A and B are shown apart, each in its own frame.
Chain A
Amino acid sequence: MSTDSLPLKDHNLLIIDDEVEVTKALTRQFRKKYNVFSASDVEDAFEIMENESIQVVLSDQRMPHMTGVDFFTKIKDKYPDAPKVILTGYSDIEAVIGAINQGQIFRYVTKPWNPEELDSVISEAFEKYELITQNRKLTQNLREANITLEEKVKVRTSELKKLNTNLTEVNREKNIYIGIIDAIFNSVPGLIYLYDEDGKLVRWNKKHELFTGYSSEELSQMHLLDFYKGDAEIQKIITEAVKTTFLNGFGETEAALSKKDGSVIPMYFTASKLTIDGKNFFTGIGIDITERKLAEAEIKNLNQELEQKVIDRTEQLKIAYKELEAFSYSISHHLRTPLRAIDGFANILLDEYALSLDVEGKRLFQVIIDNANKMGQLIDELLSFSSLNRMEIKYSPIDMHNLAYSAYDELTGKEEKENIKFRLQNIPPATGDASLINVVWINLIGNAIKFTSGKTDRIIEIGSKTEDDSIIYYVNDNGAGYNMEYSNKLFAVFQHLHSPKHFEGNGVGLAIVQRIIEQHKGRVWAEGKVGEGATFYFTLADRKDNKNQLQKNI
């Protein structure tokens, strides 16, 4: 350290000596290097120590009230870090060395002192102080670090403790689940199995042993196909099912399993692919389906019986129906012959014996003739109605517009055409039996003509609308109408909603219409109000159905 440099501001040196000359000399020596504080007695020294931050104390041994050593002893506890240097005469050396040994004094310098030696000692003392404080600081840091570390260890320890508790809980639950799974495993009413990729049985449940009759030792040596020995067909099915399982992750099959005692049981098997540590397995359940198979066989048997019964019954019905047809046909025919005779002979009487009959007699014969003819018409209608049932529907495309128009044209004379406002919309074509659908138009339009006959302003409208993909055709009139309460009677045979006095009719027309529409798998219905007219609607089976039908007929 150079003597020329400025005093080191934070290096404070306290010099204590009762001899002013000495203090001055020492101050002179050190003031360039350190901040020098001087005290001429102990009291002053205490005060300076109290107020200033003194790093090194240099004191004379021999002073009036207290020796330097005693002073150092006194301040030792309060200022332990400050190195204490004593200046002593040779005679006092013994006491000073004792103090050095007790660690209270850093160095001693004998009087008269060598300034260079003293300088070096003081310099060392400052270094010593520096070391002590640094050491203290480091120790402090170390202590603090230690505390932080301890804190961290504490926290980590508590975390670990917690984890450990959790792990214990998880383990406990795992054991519970394993217990449950084991219980289920052994109580499932079916075989549970785990096979490896090569088809070797790896795990199985108790039921597997009981059911197959093989012991645990035997099962541990068994291969999947061992349960189907001697049946190549079933082995093939099983092999395929395993292949599917490994391909799709899941498989199922039915196969007859052979037990150890040789009995063969129909089973249903499931399998799920499973990969453990990179190795493929499949596991699943096998269920005994003997009862199901028996039930199925019984159902099949019953179905067959039922089918046969239906066939037999249908055949019986067909025969009965044909007989009935023939019966009503022949009855109708036989009825016509005497009717013809009644009509014929009444006519001959009227013709050839006219002179013998008075007016009333002639009228009565005419009544006979009219009634005979009416009955003849009824029989004809009934015959055509019943023949509808026997008729085969011949499907073809129908120009409905044209058909409705010609029906109207055919049914009306010149005069009627002039009286009736006939409105025919551009109705779409249909598929059906043209001659039968013609009968429908003739009847519906014929009714409209008939029931508007009393009106002066006669309107008949024919149109169509589309609802839910099917076409509804309608015939609307502003004629006599009918009471909706009797709707259900409209389409029945021989039902008249009007007195025959007002409207002629034999009561079969609408029944025929309904039969034809039903045969076309369509629907017919009506709306009306007394005195305001009626609307008759009909649909034919939807076009898709008709197309299929058309295809069949072609």
Chain B
Amino acid sequence: MDTTAIDILLVEDNASDAELTLRVLKKHHVVNKFQLVTDGEEALDFFFGTGKFSTRDISLLPRLVILDINLPKVDGLEVLRKIKADERTKSIPVVMLTSSKEQSDIIAGYKLGANSFIVKPVDFKKFMETVEELGLYWLRFNESLQ
């Protein structure tokens, strides 16, 4: 298990969406190092050094979390709530991915401290532009804080 510091943690259960997202991020050299987890439980394990990630150095935090809202086991909003409730992790920017414009999800996400929302479009080109833009913005935002 790679225990070195990573740039982005991508939490996405859909393999196609995950691959497309990662391709965008890589292609435009936004990041080099990332970690993909495929459900909410794994995401929490990653942050809190449990389960699959029990051997990980949890002091190493990603610079950005891209978190899908619909996840198996523990859903995205719950993961978000836990990240934002922990002193150690709460300042990591979280960009939420959602496949709908469902207002209640978005409002709930912002209330819990989500930094941005990307409504995943069918149009890959649009998606690419958005991910690039927001990913870069938040990575840089985080850098400027550190």
The docked-state distance in angstroms from the alpha carbon of A345 to that of B17 is: 10
Residue B63 is within 8 A (CB to CB) of chain A in the complex: no
A383 touches B123 (CB 8 A): no
Query: Does B99 interact with chain A (Cβ within 8 Å)?
Result: yes
Main secondary structure of the interface of A (DSSP, over half): helix
Say whether A348 contacts B121, CB under 8 Å.
Answer: no
Task: Check if B20 sits within 8 Å of A344, measured CB to CB.
Answer: yes
Given known contacts A329-B100, A344-B127, A383-B100, is B16 in contact with A336 (CB within 8 Å)?
no
Cβ-neighbour of B120 out of A329, A340, A345 (below 8 A): A340
> Cβ of B121 and Cβ of A376 under 8 Å apart?
yes
Chain A residue contacts of B124, Cβ below 8 A: 340, 343-344, 346-348, 369
CB distance from A351 to the nearest CB of B (A): 9
Chain B residues within an 8 Å CB radius of A377: 122
Q: How far is the CA of A329 from the CA of B96 in the complex (A)?
A: 19
Residues of A within 8 A of B20 (CB): 340-341, 344-345, 348
Q: State which residues 296-342 of A face B: CB under 8 Å.
A: 329, 333, 336-341
B23 at the interface (CB under 8 A from A): yes
Which residue on B lies nearest to A346, using beta carbons?
B124
Residues of chain A with a CB closer than 8 A to B111's CB: none
Partner of B121, one of A340, A345, A383: A340
Nearest CB of A to B104, in Å: 10
In contact, A340 and B100 (Cβ under 8 angstroms): no
Q: Are B99 and A341 in contact (CB under 8 A)?
A: no
Pair B125/A340 contact, Cβ less than 8 Å: no
CA distance A353 to B121 in the complex (A): 23
Total interface residues in chain B, CB < 8 Å? 17
Q: In the assembly, what is the distance between CA of A347 and CA of B120, in Å?
A: 16
A373 within 8 A of B: yes
* Contact indicator per residue, chain B 71-92, by CB within 8 Å of chain A (1) or not (0): 0000000000000000000000
Q: Check A345–B16 contact: CB distance below 8 A.
A: yes
Contacts of A337 in B (CB 8 A): 14, 16-17, 99
Nearest CB in chain B to that of A340: its residue: B122
Interface: A375 (CB within 8 A): yes
The residue that B17 contacts in the complex, of A329, A340, A346, A375, with Cβ under 8 A, is A340
- The smallest beta-carbon distance between A305 and chain B, in angstroms, is 38
CA distance in complex: A346, B20 (Å): 11
Interface residues in chain B, defined as those with a beta carbon under 8 Å from any beta carbon in chain A: 14, 16-17, 20, 23, 70, 99-102, 120-125, 127
29 cross-chain CB contacts under 8 A? A329-B100, A329-B102, A333-B99, A336-B120, A336-B122, A338-B16, A340-B17, A340-B20, A340-B120, A340-B122, A341-B16, A341-B17, A341-B20, A343-B123, A344-B20, A344-B124, A345-B16, A345-B20, A346-B124, A347-B124, A347-B125, A369-B124, A372-B122, A373-B122, A373-B123, A375-B122, A376-B121, A376-B122, A379-B122
